[in-house]
Amino acid sequence: MTAVDETTTDPAAGSPVNTARAHSHGAGVVPDASRAERVTSFDVADFAVPTGREEEWKFSPLRELAPLFEAAPAGSAAVEVSGPDAVVHRTGTLQEVGAGTAFTPGDRAAVTGWAATAQAHLVSVPAEAELDAPVLVAVRGTAGTTTSGHLVVEAGHHARALVVISHTGSGAHRGGVEVRVGDGADLTVVTLQEWDADAVHVGQHDVLVGRDARVRHIAVSLGGKAVRLSTNVRYAGPGGDAQALGVYFSDAGQHLEHRLFVDHEATNCKSYVEYKGALQGDGAHAVWIGDVLIRAAAEGTETYELNRNLVLTDGARADSVPNLEIETGEIVGAGHASATGRFDDEQLFYLQARGITPDEARRLVVRGFFASIVERIGVPEISERLMTTIETELAATDLAGTSSTEEN
Amino acid sequence: MTDTVSDTTQELAGPPELEGLGKYRYGWADSDTAGSSARRGLSEEVVRDISAKKSEPGWMLQLRLKALKLFARKPMPNWGSDLTGIDFDNIKYFVRSTEKQATSWDELPADIKNTYDRLGIPEAEKQRLIAGVAAQYESEVVYHQIREDLEEKGVIFVDTDTGLREHEELFKEYFGTVIPVGDNKFASLNTAVWSGGSFIYVPPGVHVDIPLQAYFRINTENMGQFERTLIIADEGSYVHYVEGCTAPIYQSDSLHSAVVEIVVKKNARVRYTTIQNWSNNVYNLVTKRATAAEGATMEWIDGNIGSKVTMKYPAVYLMGEHAKGETLSIAMAGEGQHQDAGAKMVHAAPHTASSIVSKSIARGGGRTSYRGLIQVLEGAHHSASTVRCDALLVDTISRSDTYPYNDIREDDVVMGHEATVSKVSDDQLFYLMSRGMAEDEAMAMIVRGFIEPVARELPMEYALELNRLIELQMEGAVG
């Protein structure tokens, strides 16, 4: 067989995570039969420090992320929480805020982050409360420090709320976010990665969707040297509806990685994943992994995943892997799509034919590309600020972009 | 079947019309004197012995020994299928079934001839449906024939052992250049113990208008078949190579691990069609790769119907401007089968194009996986690639996966991947049945319609064979 993935790990040298499953016949390791077999654990010892050969780390810049793999105690990032009066905010140890019921670390950085978290936060929206303003959670890192944090977002049954988590500042940060959506609730969680250019961030967001609940998880990654965000969605009961949306803009030398895993175990649930990204500059790297597993019991599932990359200049690299595992035929539908390309010359031509300058046309096309997701954030100020940031980033490529347009 | 049981089993196993899909028609075994005396296990001695039996030049023996070392060192893949069932010590690495290669079917031992008669190979040759035939039985090619006019034009179509013996310079120039000896564990294994396969050279400008065909048969239990195929299509030429394979059903497993290297030179075109129908006790772990030079076209048409486990991802390395790669793939997995198939396209030059269409059907608890890689290297501007995967599930216990890797390192490209997974809908069945069709006919028609985009690219007799296979399952359901 042709090795599609040539980063096979020598079992004799100690397979990093799944040593427990190494087969005794000496004929090698039994590959995970499905995405569900990936190890999750609260014990640091269950996750070796990644070497880069592992399937789940092979795209990541391990040198940048190295401080986040250390099990040593770390400080807490500065966190500020504000929101309507109805919302309960508590801080305390992981136990005190009731963390860990809907969250299990899934990789080395998540487990060391969990182990090192001294102060966790709980944001709780009471049952049936309908918030008229967003809850804002501001996480700020400090240069030269390694920090960890854990946030529990809880929406009681039939509550309706919008929670915005922003990440700014510098340093190395590990953040666990645990989202529990009560039955019939309607929750939107927006996570903004607007780090300074030298920050590194590994985050794991676990979302548990209650019966007939609706949740939107929106990730926006613009800043940071290296950001790797894993979002896992599970369903606690039938009828749940989850959307995971994302926007990213990767600049020269910047690594932005988003890993999604939607685990359909309950019946009649829906999931929709859509991530859109743009890349520009030398060494700009975007990674998108979208895993969807439909277990045998999850009849009536409807799922779709979409990733689109807009590569604006040479030297950028986009990896896009939409994986789909389906164990039952009794589903409404399942599909995924991934597309990577450059500006659509016809769109640019059309706009220019209407008297719009090339620069302006490019701006409009990019705006349109991201609009479908940005508009769904629900906070006009944030949407507008993001569009402005994206346009500022875009302005930096105008020289390179214009010349390549004129080549055609 | 008792009433109480049948309800639940039927629900679990899905539409009874598809029950017959797993019925294997090629499961008989011939008497097996050569196979029973062959030794098991792999060692340097075995490799030296194979090389000596073939009176090979020294460089080939050295290459084999190097490959053997690499095989021992390379890890088993930690992805894809569960391969822990392979017992490398229990496999027979070389089985010689007959001393002399025949050029007429009548020269073959009765048993072997009988097998090929039942497979319908001599008949197809008689009818001139194919331009040349190679029939490999166990480790070696037992029958070989090519149309005289092609031979006159300089087309070489021989088994790979003969290729090495009679065309050593040409052979040495290309052997192992597309798939290096240490490419992966099974490519190393194949290089160490290879035997048989086809060696094809098509001179510049020559079009071989009718397909060349190879037929691979495993007869011995615990057999390892390691054929090695090398195809060189010189500038502006065209050739279509078709291979088929079957094996008897045994209690324990056999291994088929082939390496296929194809060099498609400037403006040439090669089409390689596989109808893989191994019995359900064969591990089919094959490395297939082609390089396409400027303006060249490489097409893989890959049908995976049989085997216990198949891991096969035919690749095209698009090395020259305007090169084109295409893969059409069908996989069917029944009970106990895992078809982990796909394709790999590497865009290494500007203005290259690739397309992958994959269709899979899982039933009776089987598993089909599409695994693919699209890589657009820096500098391969104006490249375009499309991937389309569709899976059809016909019951609730089967499984279908899609693992597409897309790695784009160039801005000026268009790459699209799309996949859908659907089940045979009640609406479709109802519609057809309301037009007077029986349920099994309706189901067959839906399945045929689903695979049609691939089936129509097959040579006529193979398309018919594929359709017959689907008809057959329906018949089985009525009885």
pLDDT tens-digit readout, A332-387: 888 888 888 887 788 888 999 999 998 888 888 888 899 888 888 878 888 888 88
Same domain, B291 and B339: yes
Separation in Å, CA of A34 to nearest CA in chain B: 9
Q: What mean pLDDT, rounded, does chain A reach? A: 87
* Percentage above 90 pLDDT, chain A: 66
B344 touches chain A (CB under 8 A): yes
Separation in Å, CA of B356 to nearest CA in chain A: 14
Integer Cα distance of B240 and B66 in angstroms = 33
Nearest CA to B457 out of B289, B328, B288 is that of B328
B475 touches chain A (CB under 8 A): no
Nearest CA in chain A to B405: A321
- Over residues B163-187, mean pLDDT: 95
This prediction's pTM: 0.82
What's the pLDDT tens digit per position in A49-84? 999 888 889 999 999 999 999 988 778 889 999 999
The per-residue pLDDT for B99 is: 66
Residue B136: inside a domain, yes or no? yes
B412 touches chain A (CB under 8 A): yes
Separation in Å, CA of B145 to nearest CA in chain A: 29
Q: Are A299 and B396 in contact (CB < 8 Å)?
A: yes
Where are the domains positioned within chain A?
Answer: 7-344
- For B:281-340, CB contacts with A below 8 A are 285-289, 311-315
Torsion sign, CA atoms A258, A264, A265, A270: positive
Nearest CB to A326 within list B371, B393, B408: B393
CA A322 vs. chain centroid, Å, equals 14
Same domain, B419 and B447: no
Separation in Å, CA of B332 to nearest CA in chain A: 15
**Looking up tokens 């609706």, which residue turns up?**
A214
Q: Are A333 and B421 in contact (CB < 8 Å)?
A: yes
What's the pLDDT tens digit per position in B193-231? 999 999 999 999 999 988 888 888 887 888 899 999 999
Nearest CA in chain B to A25: B84
Cβ pairs A/B, distance under 8 A: 194
At residue B476, does pLDDT exceed 50?
no
Separation in Å, CA of B385 to nearest CA in chain A: 10
Integer Cα distance of A155 and B236 in angstroms = 67
Chain B positions touching A317 (Cβ under 8 A) are 407-409
Phi, psi of B169, rounded to the nearest 5 degrees: -65, -50
Total of domains in chain B: 2
What's the pLDDT tens digit per position in A36-49? 888 999 999 999 99
Q: Which of A4, A9, A17 to mutate to test the interface with B (most CBs of B within 10 A)?
A: A4
Same domain, B383 and B453: no
Q: Are B411 and A312 in contact (CB < 8 Å)?
A: yes
- The answer to whether B54 and B161 have CB atoms below 8 angstroms apart is yes
Same domain, B39 and B107: yes
Which one is predicted more confidently, B428 or B93?
Answer: B93
Q: Are A1 and B403 in contact (CB < 8 Å)?
A: no
**In this structure, what token pair is assigned to residue B257?**
């691990």
Residue B428: inside a domain, yes or no? no
Nearest CB to A30 within list B82, B400, B403: B82
Residue B238: inside a domain, yes or no? yes
Integer Cα distance of B247 and B231 in angstroms = 25
- The answer to whether B350 and B324 have CB atoms below 8 angstroms apart is no
3-state secondary structure of B452: helix
Chain B positions touching A328 (Cβ under 8 A) are 393, 396-397
The per-residue pLDDT for A320 is: 92
**Boundary (domain end) residue, out of B423, B451, B467:** B423
Give residue A7's pLDDT band: very low, low, confident or very high (50, 70, 90).
Answer: very low
Same domain, B365 and B455: no
Query: Burial level of B276, CB count in 10 A (0-12/13-18/19+)?
Result: buried
Exposure string over A85-97, b if 16+ CB within 10 A, otherwise e: eebeeeeeebeeb
Q: Are B313 and A4 in contact (CB < 8 Å)?
A: yes
Same domain, B206 and B280: yes
Give Rg (Cα) of chain A.
21
At residue B419, does pLDDT exceed 50?
yes
Same domain, B275 and B170: yes
Chain A positions touching B403 (Cβ under 8 A) are 321, 323
What's the pLDDT tens digit per position in B309-318? 999 999 999 9
Q: Which of B71, B74, B78, B394 to mutate to test the interface with A (most CBs of A within 10 A)?
A: B78
- The answer to whether B92 and B39 have CB atoms below 8 angstroms apart is yes
* Percentage above 70 pLDDT, chain B: 89
∠ Cα B116 B121 B124 (to 5°): 155
Nearest CB to A5 within list B79, B393, B411: B79
Residue B86: inside a domain, yes or no? yes
Domain that holds residue B479: 433-479
Q: Are B79 and A31 in contact (CB < 8 Å)?
A: yes
Amino acid identity at A327: E
Residue B61: inside a domain, yes or no? yes
Q: What mean pLDDT, rounded, does chain B reach? A: 84
**In this structure, what token pair is assigned to residue B331?**
């996989």
Give residue B446's pLDDT band: very low, low, confident or very high (50, 70, 90).
Answer: confident
The per-residue pLDDT for A313 is: 84
At residue A10, does pLDDT exceed 50?
no
Q: Are B413 and A27 in contact (CB < 8 Å)?
A: no
Return all residues near A392 (Cβ < 8 A) that are at least 6 apart: none
Same domain, B453 and B399: no
Q: Are B408 and A309 in contact (CB < 8 Å)?
A: yes
At residue A32, does pLDDT exceed 90?
no
* Percentage above 70 pLDDT, chain A: 90
At residue B287, does pLDDT exceed 90?
yes
- Least confident range from A258-262, B75-79, B470-474: namely B470-474
The per-residue pLDDT for B471 is: 59
Torsion sign, CA atoms B184, B186, B191, B197: negative
Give residue B416's pLDDT band: very low, low, confident or very high (50, 70, 90).
Answer: confident
Same domain, B278 and B330: yes
- The answer to whether A147 and A172 have CB atoms below 8 angstroms apart is yes
Give residue B16's pLDDT band: very low, low, confident or very high (50, 70, 90).
Answer: low
Q: Are B86 and A27 in contact (CB < 8 Å)?
A: yes
Same domain, B444 and B418: no
Q: Are B413 and A342 in contact (CB < 8 Å)?
A: yes
Nearest CB to A4 within list B14, B75, B405: B405
Separation in Å, CA of A313 to nearest CA in chain B: 5
What's the pLDDT tens digit per position in B84-142? 889 999 999 998 877 677 788 888 778 777 777 777 777 777 666 677 788 888 888 87
The per-residue pLDDT for B18 is: 54
- Over residues B349-353, mean pLDDT: 95
3-state secondary structure chain A: CCCCCCCCCCHHHCCCCHHHHECCCCCCECCCCCHHHCCCCCCHHHCCCCCCCCCCCCCCCHHHHHHHHCCCCCEECEEEEECCCCCEEEEECCCCCCCCCCCCCCCHHHHHHHHHCCCEEEEEECCCCECCCCEEEEEEECCCCEEEEEEEEEECCCCEEEEEEEEEECCEEEEEEEEEECCCCEEEEEEEECCCCCCEEEEEEEEEECCCCEEEEEEEECCCCEEEEEEEEEECCCCCEEEEEEEEEECCCCEEEEEEEEEECCCCCEEEEEEEEEECCCCCEEEEEEEEEECCCCCCCEEEEEEEEEECCCCCEEEEEEEEEECCCCCCEEEEEEEEECCCHHHHHHHHHCCCCHHHHHHHHHHHHHHHHHHHHCCHHHHHHHHHHHHHHHHCCHHHHHHHHHHC
Nearest CA to B447 out of B330, B314, B349, B356 is that of B330
Give residue A277's pLDDT band: very low, low, confident or very high (50, 70, 90).
Answer: very high
The per-residue pLDDT for B23 is: 62
Going from the C-alpha of B402 to that of each of A35, A132, B355, the distances in angstroms are 12, 42, 16
Integer Cα distance of B103 and B108 in angstroms = 9
Residues β-bridged to residue B314: none
Same domain, B89 and B20: yes
Same domain, B157 and B113: yes
- Least confident range from A164-173, B15-24, B71-80, B372-381: namely B15-24
- Least confident range from A6-20, A173-187, A201-215: namely A6-20
Give residue A35's pLDDT band: very low, low, confident or very high (50, 70, 90).
Answer: confident
Q: How high is the ipTM of this complex?
A: 0.75
